[in-house]
Amino acid sequence: MTGQAPDAAIIERLARAALARIPEPFQGYLADIVLVIEDFADDETLDAMGIEDPFDLTGLYRGRPVGEKSAWDGVTMPDEIHLYRRPLLDEWVHTSVTLESLVNHVVVHEVGHHFGLSDDDMHALEDSAE
């Protein structure tokens, strides 16, 4: 029998380590983010995003970006970063990156949404860093 696929606890540990590596001043805005590890996004989420194949979504930010928050906001649900284990593992198996690097990439991407960056903004930043 071969080794077992990394479970949710391993993905969470990698994700928490990725969050811990994000430097100040950004770190101060991440303390209240809830990290959620699930095998797949639910059907409602996939439908809302127009995604047919659940393996196409590795992570998702749910919340209000930092720049849109106000002291006048009422009670709100905490911001969440969802990581989807099975799509992450599938991408890991089919690419040459380590699982740690992949989880780090997805966490940083979702943190970018927390700070109000769009997917296009993040791709431009990634391209300029290469």
Q: What is the mean pLDDT of the chain?
A: 87
- Whether the pLDDT of residue 125 is over 70: the answer is no
What is the mean pLDDT of the segment spanning 71-75?
62
- Name the fold adopted by 8-129: Zincin-like (3.30.2010)
> So what's the pLDDT on residue 126?
66
Compute the distance between CA of residue 78 and CA of residue 55 in angstroms, rounded to an integer: 26
Highest mean pLDDT among 31-35, 45-49, 67-71 belongs to 45-49
Go through 17-28 and write b for each residue having 16 or more CB atoms within 10 A of its CB, e for each that does not: ebbeeeeeeeee
